[in-house]
Amino acid sequence: MAATRPASSSPSSSLLPWLGISLIVIVLDQLTKTLVLQYFQYGDSRTITSFFNLVRAHNTGAAFSFLAGASGWQRWFFVGLGAVAAVFIVWMLSRHGGQKVFAWALALILGGALGNVIDRLLHGYVVDFVQVHYAGWAFPSFNVADSAITLGAILLIVDELLRVRRAK
């Protein structure tokens, strides 16, 4: 007789919390971008501290405006890439939902990727609004989705370092 999985470890039950985290990222990302679009004109900047501004910037490219100057094809390329990545991440979450750090990383990356895909579909660009600067130097503007993707990437590295350490 084949062994059956307990209900609590079924793929759908282990997938739902991670999809919930992704949904929270998407909602926070879209809410903050909606506020920026409502209260800022393109190019506006408001100083918050000596090193932090809120701005309204539009990014038609990828990270650090990569391909922003292309003729428009990049919009659909990044939408397609985001969709393929989302399917792959959901599949990975369904298989590895029990690995907490890894699943947190994937959930954050999924939410961030979909948040930016939504922007590309709605506006044709990604709305960025966080600007960190110091002594004339400014880091490229970013948003909640970008922050979630970055945190997810950091967690992937942490997860791998922990995995290597456990293997020794």
- Tens-digit pLDDT profile for residues 35-93: 999 999 999 999 999 999 999 999 876 665 555 555 566 677 878 889 999 999 999 99
Q: Which of 29, 119, 128, 159 is catalytic?
A: 128
Please give the full DSSP string across 98-155, using - where no structure is assigned.
T-HHHHHHHHHHHHHHHHHHHHHHHHSSEEEEEEEEETTEEPPPB-HHHHHHHHHHHH
Q: Which of 29, 119, 146, 159 is catalytic?
A: 146
- Ordered by start, the domain boundaries in the chain are 13-167
Confirm whether 128 is a catalytic residue.
yes
> Has residue 161 got a pLDDT over 80?
yes
Q: In this predicted model, which residue has the larger pLDDT, 13 or 145?
A: 145
Q: Are 79 and 117 in contact (CB under 8 A)?
A: yes
Confirm whether 159 is a catalytic residue.
no
